Amino acid sequence: MSRRVRRTVSATVTLAVASLTLTACFEEPSPHDAVRDFLVGWQSEDYALAAGRTDGDPKAVAKALSDTKLDLDAASFRFKVEGITRDGDESTATFGAEIDLGENVPLWTYKSTLPLHLVDGQWKVRWSPSVLHPKLKDGQRFAVKTEAHARATINDRENSPLQTDDNLYVAGVTPDTLGGHPEQVVEQLASITKFAEDRLLSRIRSSPPSDFVPLVTFGRERYRKLEAQLDQIKGITVQTQRQPVRPDDPKDIVGRVTALTPESEQKLGGPQRAGDSNGINGLQKAYQDELT
């Protein structure tokens, strides 16, 4: 997946709309309009439009849709309606969801359904958490569980690695130890590291509350310079991670590797996963995407 992630929201929903039959001088209410407005509203962040097409409390539905974007820290949502069936006053729409979670991770896709029924002559989506995802239940929310993978090695013709492991230092938090108020921790960490405060906060909010959330990775020298300041931030934990980043000879051909900095993150095209590393020169730079 390209690292140049465009964090935009498209307002296009593909609808497989069947031709409508006119009876007498008026058009019979159709579930297609309700399906279109709900998915377009959700996708384009017009949550009032989407909520108005459900039978739920408009404020509660709008908040649930808004929270979905925050909980997933999603860059964009795209939906495609695959079919709509009707049985009297009931209807069901099937659709596919494609969610860009950003930060060098694959698109998340799933299939779901929208149950609809007639309410005072208008088609409404029958609201429940399962509208957002078929497995979501009352009292549950989305969370993104990120598993960091070590950088791949560059090997010689005999399949022996051309670099050795060295320590990287990953600073992160466990959300449920922060008392529900991660803002202060993030503000302090951003001040020290110069990473964007809003991105750090989004990673915490979108993660499972009991998981360690990696936020910033340091190489040995930078960590030693900042270690005392990091120790002063209550809630921050630093884990040591071994990665193949120390090049063997010829070093300029194999290439050097460093932990991400705010500057290198921008050169790579936007936010990356904490724990990722950056090839500075040689083969490490040439094959950056393949090695991470």
Q: Write the class of the CATH domain 31-131.
A: alpha beta
> Where are the chain's structural domains?
31-131, 163-291
Tokens read off for 120: 């005072």
CB 231 within 8 A of CB 258: no
pLDDT above 60 for 11: no
Give residues with Cβ within 8 angstroms of 21, minimum separation 6. Answer: 28
- With residue 246 as reference, give the H or E element that holds it: strand 237-247
Looking at residue 213, its pLDDT comes to: 93
Query: Is 261 strand, coil or helix?
Result: coil
> What pLDDT is attached to residue 22?
35
Do the strands 257-259 and 277-279 form a parallel or antiparallel pair, or are they unpaired? antiparallel
Can you give 79-139 as a three-state secondary structure string?
Answer: EEEEEEEEECCEEEEEEEEEEECCCCCCCEEEEEEEEEEEECCEEEECCCHHHCCCCCCCC
Asked if pLDDT for residue 38 goes beyond 50, the answer is yes
Could you read off the pLDDT of 257-266 as tens digits, one per residue? 887 777 777 6
3-state secondary structure of 216: strand
Partners of 292 in the β-ladder = none
pLDDT per residue over 106-134, tens digit each?
899 999 999 999 999 999 999 999 999 99
Average pLDDT over residues 88-108: 90
pTM of the predicted model, to two decimals?
A: 0.71
